[in-house]
Amino acid sequence: NIEWYLKERPAVFGEDIHLVCKLPNETTCCDFYNRKWNVGTDSKVAVMNGLSLNKTKFSEELNKIDHESILTIKSFDEGDLNKPFQCVYGFFKYKSTLQLDNTRFEYHPDVNLPIEPEIDGNNFTVKVVFEKVFPFPSCRAVVGLKNISSSLNISNKRKTLFYQSIITLNYAKSEEGCKGSLQVICKVGQKVLKVVDYKKACSNTQDHQPSSLSTGSIAVIVVFSTIGIICLIALVVCVRKLCGESTY
């Protein structure tokens, strides 16, 4: 008997994947009979003896040492799921399908990351939408060393094969609790996504302190300068009066 298995764990949509067919462990392997890969319910020939009938989608590599026929599926997509793939070597045949499950397949969202949060005073707001993702993400959020994941909300909606995920964060920071950058990290299967990496999370509080101190210092200087000028004017007036009296 022969059989094939999926080489990649996980298989990522958009990337090339490989089906490895174990051929008979005989001295006649692997050119004595015709090798074929058939695809679809109608068993249409995709590759025969290394010759691809659709070079943009399929190719075969023959590993004679390990008796393996390896089918490359280029740019793996949704259309390759639930479709029969049949490995044929002479009279030996094995047919199976690629069925979607959470452990073997991943679809990574097409989003420019990381994003910057919206900041209004002491409030952080984050919203990011993964229009297509699989499996749905698990996320955490931190400010410095403080875990604020309880302020995260993740909404997942199944759309045909995949999910749409909406990730929102609403958090009111405090001067005491703000000791570092804001980070939101999500994991899609084995893929780690840095959704937010905002290193100025505490800059508002910290940047305003020097500004307020310098303003206060200027105010004190102005007050004392004004008092000094008034005293100086009073002294001059007083001296002039005394000098005038002494003249008479």
DSSP per position, 2-30: -EEEE--SSEETTS-EEEEEE---STTTT
Does residue 108 have a pLDDT over 60? yes
Model confidence band, residue 200 (pLDDT cutoffs 50, 70, 90): confident
The answer to whether the 3-105 and 107-203 domains have the same CATH topology is: yes
- Per CATH, the homologous superfamily of domain 107-203 is Immunoglobulins (2.60.40.10)
For the whole model, what pTM was predicted?
A: 0.77
For 87-91, 127-131, 162-166, 211-215, which range has the lowest pLDDT when averaged over its residues?
211-215
User: In the chain, what are the domain boundaries?
Assistant: 3-105, 107-203
pLDDT tens-digit map of 9-27: 999 999 999 999 999 887 6
What is the structure's pLDDT at 1?
82
Across the range 127-136, mean pLDDT stands at 97
One CATH from 3.40.50.720, 2.60.40.10, 2.102.10.10, 3.90.870.40 for 3-105:
2.60.40.10
pLDDT-derived band at 157 (thresholds 50, 70, 90) equals very high
Question: How far is the C-alpha of 208 from the C-alpha of 197, rounded, in Å?
Answer: 22
Average pLDDT over residues 159-176: 88
pLDDT value for 215? 52
Measured between alpha carbons, how far is 99 from 247 in angstroms, rounded to an integer?
114
- Rounded distance between C-alpha atoms, residue 103 and residue 190, angstroms: 9
pLDDT at 188: 97
Predicted confidence band of residue 122 (pLDDT cuts 50, 70, 90): confident
CA angle, 75 as apex, 135 and 106 as ends, to 5°? Answer: 10
| Tokens at 204, concatenated | 């508002």
